[in-house]
Each structure stands twice: as structure tokens, then as C-alpha cells.
Amino acid sequence: MTAKETIASATNGETHAAPSSPAQRAALEFGKAWTYAPAPEAADHVRIDPRYELFIGGKWVAPSSGKYFDTVSPSTEQKLSEVAEANERDVDLAVKAARNGYEKYWSKLSGIERGKYIYRIARVIQEKARELAIVETMDGGKPIKESRDVDLPLVAAHFFYYAGWADKLAYAFPGRSPRPLGVAGQVIPWNFPLLMAAWKLAPALAAGNTCVLKPAETTPLTALLLAKIIEECDLPPGVVNIVTGAGATGAAVVAHPDVDKVAFTGSTDVGKRIQKALSGTKKKLTLELGGKAANIVFADAPLDQAVEGIISGIYFNQGHVCCAGSRLLVEEGAFEPLLQKLRDRMQTLRVGDPLDKNTDVGAINSKMQLDKIRELVEAGEREGAERFSTPCELPTRGYWFAPTLFTGVSQSHRIAREEIFGPVLAVMTFRTPEEAIEKANNTMYGLSAGVWTDKGSKSFWVSQRLRAGVVWANTYNKFDPSSPFGGYKESGFGREGGRQGLLPYLEVD
Amino acid sequence: MAAEGGNGKGAAGPSGPRTYPDFSAPTVDKVMVEERAAALGKRSIKKEAKVAGLLLSIAMMDLTTLEGKDSPGKVTQLCQKAMRPHASPEVPPCAAICVYPKLVPVAKHALAGSSVKVASVATAFPSGLSALDVKLDDVRRAVAWGADEIDMVIDRGALLAGEKTRIFDEIAATKEACGSAHLKVILETGELGTYDLVREASQIAMLAGADFIKTSTGKVTPAATPAVTLVMLEAIRDFFYATGKRIGMKPAGGIRTAKQALHYLVLVKETLGDAWLTPDLFRLGASTLLNDVLMQLETQRTGAYQSGDYFSKD
């Protein structure tokens, strides 16, 4: 019996007057009955230097080319600072410094001493969490709510977690005498700038390696603030080096002959190029690439909570999440009620100033990314899918995209196959669990998935058949440093987080 | 009237055994609903939004006293407070006074000519463990004495034993006994054990004719929580989607601070939207909340947090 029939039969009793055409009246309004005043996080105490050099060998070094590039706030298009552009010579200096740091200091320290340094980094990050969160939000456009409550706590937790492993590596791999690799070259993306730096640096340092880290060109600031923290924590020179720049700088890090291990998080395109470049070399490689995750909702799911999971799955961090639940697969019987709830819920999303503590969806990270989202959304419209975007007012300056979903999507549509990396959800339906699994797995990616059902046995049955590195059941986007994360197929290989996350940075017999 | 009206028998009509609507409701995931409720507690409500929210929460307040030692004097004092919570003209009166039936005439007299309603608990409050005709008589008397609103309790023992139709029949009968008085149905969520049952009880109450659904008596811990309130708001939303009928919500018990009151307002605003941001559809049942709200309002107005002695303790 549907909800409507339920009520119809209830109204046959004496207790109700029969409602007149409920469908017409049953629309919720989320307007201005009681509005929240702006609640901007104060940023005036945050100091961003007008210019940042490269952090090499424990010193701040000017780039050999003398070139700098601007980093702008995507929510205001204002320049925040300018940052050194490292070329091959600078990268070479950084790798040499890392090698020196490895041979002279880091490899000579006991695990317990390395652990102390990493714990110290974690504690200072906690102390400066507020400042780091604000800069993360200014430079990247993500809501302060997220950088404050998700990014920064996870960043500190990651360093704490791996600090604990530093003197216990022998226990992580019993009887297999784990040894560090040497110098790790690490290239990270712009969606979780500081968190990705933590995911890369913490396990590498705990395992006894030294690092050359290249942050993304649109979001270099928090990595540079992390360099200052590392300086403050008095790490031996060269143990962590941070070189800023665009794709060419990253390519130089990856291609440097004295790098022993490459770790990359970013697009599948670049990942493929890196893998090609590294073929035939001794370098170890891990790749964490794109995704097109299926969020599967069965009719017996807790629907109101599933809506929250769907929202968090695709609109968290403007959808700039490699494990975003960008394909919603709904069992046919639940489609109508779920979509009604979802559309109403989308209307309550507050899009705007990322520094406002009540903002749910912030700015798109860059003009380039905004163009890509627009292109794919237009493709979705052209291919005949039905678009719904929230009727929110977007700021006139900066890069913005209203939370959007498409219904009437086919497996063959571009919006169902390509990673949009924006706040755009493709909704499809299925009839049987087998069909859900087939559709979920019918993608070149395999990073994550979600399953929503009240039935535990179904939850396990389905998740065992999903080819995805992470499967969330009745939740989405949950992270913990103790839990390994990584992909199947073109989502990459290697795991980050947990005991498994140490392995890519170790030689084990 | 069948005092022990059991499954399907309670409201048998002339044409044979009564058929009941489907009481089934969507399941609730505990972890996610608590997470969502807590997340809405992080909304930053400042300045004019804070003042507007606090004033609204006063207008939505059911100022409550439900103690064995309640006296006419105490109730009269509380009525004065409800009509004029603060000297400042912008502060609205409260929505209602909530008392035991015997004190309804006192409250009615004290509130004469004002907008403040008289709500009375009834139906063998707080346990509900009496014969149905005794409970209905309790309701009729309270209404006859002048109650505008009846806060009934459901028989939680019967619900936990699976007697859903009995709960439905008792609520329907109570609604009938209320006449023109509004009916609030107290689920006593602290005794129901699971959010699933809270959701189902909400559905039964709304189907049976509740004007409001209410979390708690205030006599059981836990009383109102943001998560249980969210579950009930979601039930109200589903009912609205299906029927177009707007049911009211009243969290009660344990709401003591202005911050909590604003948290509940946020829950309503972001779950049900504008239409529910009115005392007609949302109430806060509280005995000690008002003064904290007044103190916060004065803090906003003057910039200084004042001593409790500057506010009347009623």
C-alpha cells in the first residue's frame, strides 16, 4: 500500500475531513520566514604572506626561474598571494635535499624518534586548526563548516595515527622486516589540499622515507603553511620539501630519476600519463584517481536518512570528491517519494560565501573546473535527461554552480559515465538487486559505493558484489585514518590509510 | 464505550469490524538521524536572526507546570508571566499555559481576554494506564473546565505489546471527546526504545486525528532530543506529502536553554519549512526555558549578560 492509499483509507474513518487534491497542496516552502543572519568566520587574524618561496632542505628558496604565479580565492576572484613556480632545476634541488635528508638524518633515526616528530606535527596542526581551516576555505572555496569539522580534524588524526605506527612497523608486517624506500615524490589535488598532503606525508614519514610534495596550483597555501609548521617542529632539513607549480612541476617530480616512489592523487588522465612515464623504471607507484560511484537506495531503506547520504555524497565539497556518490541508483518503487524528499532537501542547501559558518555548498574551485561542469551539464541536457537545479541566488563574483540533479538518465549518457567532479547527480532506477549491481559496476571506475537498505543481509550481499574500494552501508563519505582507501579499475591502485597505507612506502621481504 | 477495546474491536461500526489504515512507516537509521540532528545544531544564529528566533520561541512556548504541589497561586503567577513575559514591548506572549485539569479553571480565569491558550494534560497523565472511559472523562472535564488544548498520553505498554489498533482507537476516541479543543498526542518517546517505533507511533497518532504530536511528558528521561524531534518532523512531512494536512509538533521536556530552543527552530525550518514556523504548528513545552531566552534577549539588547535576579522567577 502506498502512503497515499494509506491516508485515503484513513480518511474513510470519522476522524478526518477528506483532503482536497493533496498533490496540489503538498509543497513545502523554504523561504524567508526566519532567515539566518550572515555569520562569517573572522579572517582578519589570519596572515597570508604576499609571496611564498619553495621549501627545500629546510629553507625557503626562490625559484631558479624567478617566476611566480597567483593563487586566487575562487569565491571572490581576488588574489590571495603569489607562489613560486618550481622548474626541473628546483625539483632536482628538492630531490637532492630529500636524498640528503634521508641519508644523513631520517634513516638514522629510530622509529620512536620519527614518531615524536610526527606527533609534534599533529599537535601543532591541532593548535593552528582554525587558521588552517580558514586559509583552506579562502584558497579552495570549500565551506568553512567542512574545512573546520571535516578536513582539519582528519588531517590531525592522520598524523596522529601514522605517528603511532612509526616504531611499530615490525608489528605491522610481522616477520617481514619492513624497510623504507628512500625519497617519495608526491603530487596531490586541489579538492582536499591539506588532507591529501597529510595522507601522503604521514605514512611516508612514519615508514622512514623523505618527501618531495607538489601541491595543486590552485590550492597551494595550506601546504605552504604546513611547511611552516614542519619548520617550527624542527624536522631535520630535507625530510619534507614542498615545491609549488603546475603540471610541469608535477611531471618533473614524477620523472626525477632519484625518486624511489611516486604517489599521485588526481585525475585518471594524468594518472595514466604518470604510469606510462614510470614504466620500465624501478619506481614504485600508487595512484588514487577518479570515480563515478553508485549510491544504491533500496525501497526498504531508511529514506529520510538516505536523502542525507545522497546530499552528503554529491554536494559535500561541491562534489569535488573522487569518491562522490555521483550516480544515484534507486529501486523503482522508491523513486517518487525519494525524489520528492531529495528536491525539497536540496532547496535547504545554502550556497554562497564559503567563510559563512552556515554555508553548505561553497565555490567551484576554479574557472577551468566550472567550465568542465557546465560542459557536462549541457551534454546531459542535450542527451535528453531532465535537469533540476535549486533556485538559489548565486554571488555575482567568483565561480559557482547550483546543486543539480538529472533524472531520466541512461547508462550511456555522458553524465552517467564521466566524472563531473561537481555538484551534479545523475539519477537512475533499477528493479532487482542484480540489476543494481550490474549498473553500479558498469563503469570504468571503482573507487567507492553506497548501499542503503534496512536489511543487513542484503547490505552484505550487495557490497560483496560491488567492485569498489570502499562501500558505505547506510552512510556516505565517512573517513578514518585507520581505514584503507583506494580504487579498483581506473580509479587507481594502492591503498592509503590504515596498516595497508604503510605498504606502498615500504620494502618488505 | 469499550474500555478494553482491543485489536479491531474498539471502534466497530454498524457495518461490522472496523478496517484500519496502514500504520507502517519508513524505517529510521539511528546513526544518520542523530548525525543530521546534531549537524543542524551547528547553525550559527547571530544578531537579528538570533533575536527573531528567540522572540519566535517565546511565542511558541507552552509554559508548563506539572507538579503535585501546583497551587492556584503558582498557576496564576505563571499565567501573568505567559501574558507578559517581559516589560519590553517587543516580547510577545507565550502560546499557552500547560497545567493539570484541576487547575484549568484557575488558568482560564487568569488568562481571560488574552491570546494565551490553556492546555491541559489529561488521559491519566503521565502513564496513561487507566481505563479508557476514565481517560475520556478526564478529557471531557478538562474541556468543560475551559481547556483549549488537550495533551493526551498514549498507552506505551499497549504500543510496546504491539496493540497498534488499540492506540489508534484510544486517540480517535480522545479526539472525539476533545470536541473543538486541539489534541496533542504525547508519545513519550523516552519509553519507546527505538526511532522506528517513534516513527510508527507518530503515524498512528496522525492517522487517528492528532492535531499535534508531542515527544514527552517531562516525567521520563530522556525527554525531547533533537534526533527524536527530527524523526517526528519527518513523519509529519510524509503525512503532509500524502494528505496536504499540516500536523503540529511539540518537543517537550529538558529544553532549558535559548541555544536548545534555537536548535529546535532550525530543525523545523530546515525540515518542514516556512509554514511550520508559527505557534499554530510548532510549540516548545518547557518550564524553565523562558527566563534563559529572556536573558539572551536582554544580552542582545544591552550587550551585557544580567544576573538571574533581574528576571522574575515564577
For A138-200, give the DSSP string. Answer: HHH---HHHIIIIIHHHHHHHHHHHHHHTT-HHHHSTTS--EE-SEEEEE--SSSHHHHHHHH
Contacts of A3 in chain B (CB under 8 A): 238, 241-242
Burial class (CB in 10 A: 0-12, 13-18, 19+), A247: middle
Residue B302 is given by DSSP the state H
Best CA proximity match to B98, nearest among B75, B125, B72, B119: B119
Give the residue on B whose Cα is nearest the Cα of A475. B32
Mean pLDDT of the region A254-269: 97
pLDDT at B314: 85
Contact A16 B209 (CB under 8 A): yes
Amino acid at A9: S
Name the residue among A19, A23, A348 with its Cβ closest to that of B245. Answer: A19
| Number of residues in chain B | 314
Give CA torsion, residues A215, A219, A220, A223, to 10 deg: -70
Check whether residue A284 and residue A336 sit in a common domain. Answer: no
Check whether residue A307 and residue A263 sit in a common domain. Answer: no
Contact A303 B26 (CB under 8 A): yes
Sheet bearing A59-61, strands edge to edge: A59-61, A54-56, A240-242, A210-214, A183-187, A261-265, A284-288, A492-493
Per-residue pLDDT reduced to its tens digit, A483-498 = 999 999 999 999 999 9
Interface of B with A in 175-214 (CB under 8 A): 175-176, 207-209
Q: List C-alpha distances in Å: B58 to A99, B90, B93, B117, B284.
A: 67, 11, 7, 14, 9
pLDDT above 90 as % of chain A: 94
Mean pLDDT of the region A255-277: 97
Which run of H or E residues covers position A60? strand A59-61
Q: Does residue A314 fall inside a structural domain? A: yes
Q: How many CB pairs lie under 8 A apart between chains A and B?
A: 143
What are the two backbone dihedrals, phi and then psi, of residue A218, each rounded to the nearest 5 degrees?
-85, -15
Per-residue pLDDT reduced to its tens digit, B15-66 = 667 899 999 999 999 999 999 999 999 999 999 999 999 999 999 999 999 9
Contact B27 A35 (CB under 8 A): no
Radius of gyration in angstroms for the set of CA atoms belonging to chain B, rounded to a whole number: 19
In CATH, what number is assigned to the domain containing residue A457? 3.40.309.10
From A128's Cα to the closest Cα of chain B, the distance in A is 21
Check whether residue A371 and residue A406 sit in a common domain. Answer: yes
Best CA proximity match to A474, nearest among A343, A303, A228, A291: A303
Q: Are A94 and A227 in contact (CB under 8 A)?
A: no
CA distance B67 to A309: 43
Tell me the CB-side half-sphere exposure of residue A344, using CA atoms within 13 A.
24
Per-residue pLDDT reduced to its tens digit, A418-449 = 999 999 999 999 999 999 999 999 999 999 99
Check whether residue A497 and residue A435 sit in a common domain. Answer: no
Assess whether pLDDT exceeds 90 at residue B5.
no
pLDDT at B16: 63
Check whether residue A398 and residue A279 sit in a common domain. Answer: no
Best CA proximity match to A143, nearest among A35, A41, A48, A38: A41
pLDDT above 90 as % of chain B: 94
Suggest the residue from B15, B22, B247 to mutate for an interface test with chain A (most A CBs closer than 10 A): B22
Instruction: Say how many domains are in chain A.
Output: 2
The interface pTM score, or ipTM, of the predicted complex is: 0.93
* Domains in chain B: boundaries: 30-301
CB-based contacts of B161: which residues, under 8 Å, 6+ apart? none
Q: Does A236 sit behind a cis peptide bond, omega within 30 degrees of 0 on the bond before it?
A: no
Check whether residue A327 and residue A424 sit in a common domain. Answer: yes
Contact B270 A39 (CB under 8 A): no
Query: What confidence tier does A25 reach under pLDDT thresholds 50, 70, 90?
Result: low
Contacts of A30 in chain B (CB under 8 A): 269-270, 273-274
A418 is catalytic: no
Q: What angle do CA B53, B35, B291 make, to 5 degrees?
A: 30
Query: Which DSSP string do the residues of A262-278 spell out, in sequence order?
Result: EEEES-HHHHHHHHHHH
Contacts of B172 in chain A (CB under 8 A): 13-15
Strand partners, A61: A54
CA distance B2 to B16: 15
Check whether residue A284 and residue A345 sit in a common domain. Answer: no
Catalytic site positions of B: 151, 214, 250
Contacts of B244 in chain A (CB under 8 A): 19-26
Q: At what angle do helices A152-165 and A129-140 cross, to 10 degrees?
A: 120
Assess whether pLDDT exceeds 60 at residue A8.
no
3-state secondary structure of A229: helix
Specify the pTM: 0.93
Q: Does residue A355 fall inside a structural domain? A: yes
Strand partners, A297: A330, A452
Assess whether pLDDT exceeds 90 at residue A3.
no
3-state secondary structure of A59: strand
Name the residue among B18, B56, B242 with its Cβ closest to that of A7. Answer: B242
CA distance A485 to A372: 26
Q: Does residue A4 fall inside a structural domain? A: no
CATH superfamily of B30-301: Aldolase class I (3.20.20.70)
Q: Are B181 and B150 in contact (CB under 8 A)?
A: yes
From B77's Cα to the closest Cα of chain A, the distance in A is 31
Assess whether pLDDT exceeds 80 at residue B10.
no
CB-based contacts of B303: which residues, under 8 Å, 6+ apart? none
Cell of A488: 579498483
Residue B305 is given by DSSP the state P
Amino acid at A299: A
* A94-103, A387-396, B1-10, B233-242, range with the lowest pLDDT: B1-10
CA distance A410 to B210: 44
Tell me the CB-side half-sphere exposure of residue A266, using CA atoms within 13 A.
25
CB-based contacts of B102: which residues, under 8 Å, 6+ apart? none
CA distance A478 to A238: 34
Check whether residue A123 and residue A256 sit in a common domain. Answer: yes
CA distance A403 to A311: 10
What are the two backbone dihedrals, phi and then psi, of residue B47, each rounded to the nearest 5 degrees?
45, -125
Mean of the per-residue pLDDT values of chain A:
94
CA distance A250 to A246: 7
Contact A302 B265 (CB under 8 A): no
From B270's Cα to the closest Cα of chain A, the distance in A is 6
Domain containing residue A266: 51-289+488-507
Per-residue pLDDT reduced to its tens digit, B155-168 = 999 999 999 999 99
> Pairing mode, if any, of strands A294-297 and B117-122?
unpaired
Interface of B with A in 143-182 (CB under 8 A): 172, 175-176
Mean pLDDT of the region A187-210: 98
Check whether residue A311 and residue A275 sit in a common domain. Answer: no
Give the residue on B whose Cα is nearest the Cα of A347. B270
Strand partners, B184: B151, B212
Q: Does residue A29 fall inside a structural domain? A: no
pLDDT at B7: 44
CA distance B107 to B291: 20
Check whether residue A177 and residue A224 sit in a common domain. Answer: yes
Name the residue among A1, A13, A454 with its Cβ closest to that of B22. Answer: A1
Q: Are A60 and B305 in contact (CB under 8 A)?
A: no
pLDDT at B15: 60
Check whether residue A250 and residue A351 sit in a common domain. Answer: no
Check whether residue A328 and residue A454 sit in a common domain. Answer: yes
Contacts of B209 in chain A (CB under 8 A): 15-16
Q: Does residue A22 fall inside a structural domain? A: no
